[in-house]
């Protein structure tokens, strides 16, 4: 396997890194403090083609391979974990739903607007009683003339309060279990009955609004159903599987940010008449941090490679997400430790990296669920 980045991949990495260093890093603490959606940064990323990285140019996407997309997302998350989630939910979830399961008219109308950054996307799957247990959802879509009447609610929806296009899952046949779930395109500004109940006050991931949504007799036309009735559960699983690669990328980005900050601090902080980077204990921490981040990055690229070759990558995506999410928290934790007392204050970004990293172990498949997935795939080989 060739691990050398192509010229295009290096260019993407360098372009995004430059944008992140110049525009995102100086704003990261402010975004974390205010928890405001950074619309201006989204506009700038749209101009750079970063809101539709893996989609074809015929839909105004950047036409990048999945390696380049993961590299770009890791750089964005290095600057701001919340910004990384905004892009991942918009692209890997909402965008991929439309690209993989939308018809030509749906792609032209909705995916194109997402890729240009004109619209923001969200993916509405989880509910209060249906997180990991997707078939337990209660949101229902009943036939009503040439459309559907939708009632119910969703929780933990990234971008949910700012989205222009929401890919929504609801039961069209309550008695059919997972085969009774369908997926739809919802337009919050157009669809009466779409209600944002509020947003969560989270530990980290600031700047990305996580919304609670409610649907009260919300009618949508049949042409906004994605694929056939009953295909929604399969849509969700396939989309989340690809999304796990990008959560691995977010994890890698945060781990790299924590390592970079810890390395700089260790070289500048002096104790016992010298920089603490000269202490073997600190050197070992930095060595382990870098090794873990590098291993996570390789797992991420392995899953991306399989996806690009249209081979089965369920286990590899789960492993990449599981390992990268856990090491991002471990690396961020060591970053706090290296900073000592300063690491526990907001004077340094080490504590922000720690807070942002924890989410990686929860959304788009908890670590516990991913271990089940990996074991099932392993035993079926």
Q: Per-residue pLDDT averaged across 83-97, rounded?
A: 98
Q: What is the pLDDT of residues 55-74, one digit of tens each?
A: 999 999 999 999 999 999 99
DSSP string, 217-283: EEEEEGGGEESSTT-HHHHHHHHHHHHHHHHHHHHHHHHHHHHHHHHHHHHH-EETTEEGGGSHHHH
CA–CA dist 84, 238 (Å, integer): 21
Domain residue spans in the chain? 7-120, 122-230, 233-380
Average pLDDT over residues 158-171: 98
CA–CA–CA angle 210, 157, 206 (5° rounding): 25
3-state secondary structure of 165: strand
pTM: 0.97
- pLDDT band of residue 263 (cuts 50, 70, 90) is very high
- Convert the pLDDT of each residue in 290-331 to its tens digit: 999 999 999 999 999 999 999 999 999 999 999 999 999 999
**What CATH number labels 7-120?**
1.10.540.10
Does the pLDDT at position 3 exceed 80? no
Let me know if 268 is a catalytic residue.
Answer: no
User: Average pLDDT of 156-164?
Assistant: 98
Mean pLDDT of all residues in 166-172? 98
- Tell me the three state secondary structure of residue 339: helix
**Given the residues 75, 316, 326, 364, the one annotated as active site:** 364
- Counting residues of the chain whose pLDDT is more than 70, the rounded percentage is 100
CATH number of 233-380: 1.20.140.10
User: Which residue spans within the chain are E strands per DSSP?
Assistant: 121-124, 140-144, 147-158, 165-171, 181-186, 194-199, 210-221, 225-226, 270-271, 274-275
User: Region 10-29: what's the mean pLDDT?
Assistant: 98
Q: What pLDDT shows up at residue 148?
A: 98
Q: Which residues contact 80 (CB under 8 A, 6 or more apart)?
A: 24, 27, 28, 31, 32, 38, 207
Question: What pLDDT does residue 2 have?
Answer: 76
- What is the structure's pLDDT at 217? 98
What is the distance between the alpha carbons of residues 287 and 169, in angstroms, rounded to a whole number?
44
Alpha-carbon distance values, 35 to 18, 149, 344 (Å): 24, 34, 20
- What is the model's pLDDT at position 1? 63
**CATH no. of 122-230:** 2.40.110.10
Cα angle at 367 between 55 and 101, to 5 degrees?
Answer: 30
């Amino acid at each position: 396997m060739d691990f050398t980045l192509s010229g295009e991949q290096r260019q993407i990495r360098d372009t995004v890194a430059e944008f992140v260093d110049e525009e995102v890093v100086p704003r990261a603490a402010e975004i974390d403090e205010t928890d405001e959606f950074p619309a201006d940064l989204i506009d700038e990323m749209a101009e750079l083609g970063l809101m539709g990285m893996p989609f074809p140019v015929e839909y105004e996407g950047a036409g990048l391979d999945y390696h380049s997309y993961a590299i770009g997302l890791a750089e964005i998350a290095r600057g701001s974990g919340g910004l990384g989630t905004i892009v991942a939910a918009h692209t890997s979830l909402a965008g991929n739903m439309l690209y993989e399961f939308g018809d030509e008219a749906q792609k032209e109308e909705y995916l194109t607007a997402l890729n240009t950054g004109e619209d923001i996307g969200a993916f509405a799957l989880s509910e209060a009683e249906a997180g990991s247990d997707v078939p337990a959802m209660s949101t229902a879509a009943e036939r009503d003339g040439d459309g559907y009447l939708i009632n119910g609610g969703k929780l933990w929806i990234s971008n949910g309060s700012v989205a222009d296009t929401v890919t929504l899952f609801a039961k069209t046949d309550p008695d059919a279990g997972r085969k009774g779930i369908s997926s739809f395109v919802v337009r919050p500004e157009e669809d009466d009955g779409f209600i944002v109940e509020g947003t969560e006050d989270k530990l980290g991931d600031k700047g990305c609004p996580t919304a609670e949504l409610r649907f009260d007799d919300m009618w949508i036309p049949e042409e906004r159903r994605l694929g056939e009735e009953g295909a929604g559960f399969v849509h969700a699983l396939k989309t989340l599987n690809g999304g796990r690669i990008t959560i691995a990328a977010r994890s890698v980005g945060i781990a790299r940010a924590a390592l970079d900050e810890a390395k700089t601090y260790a070289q500048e902080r002096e104790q016992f008449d010298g920089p603490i980077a000269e202490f073997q204990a600190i050197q070992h921490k930095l060595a382990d941090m870098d090794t873990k981040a590098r291993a996570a990055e390789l797992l991420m690229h392995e899953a991306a490679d399989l996806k690009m070759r249209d081979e089965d990558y369920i286990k590899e995506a789960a492993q990449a997400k599981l390992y990268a999410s856990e090491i991002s928290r471990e690396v961020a934790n060591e970053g706090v430790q290296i900073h000592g007392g300063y690491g526990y204050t907001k004077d340094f970004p080490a504590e922000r990296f720690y807070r942002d990293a924890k989410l990686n172990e929860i959304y788009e498949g908890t670590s516990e669920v991913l271990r089940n997935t990996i074991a099932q795939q392993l035993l079926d080989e």
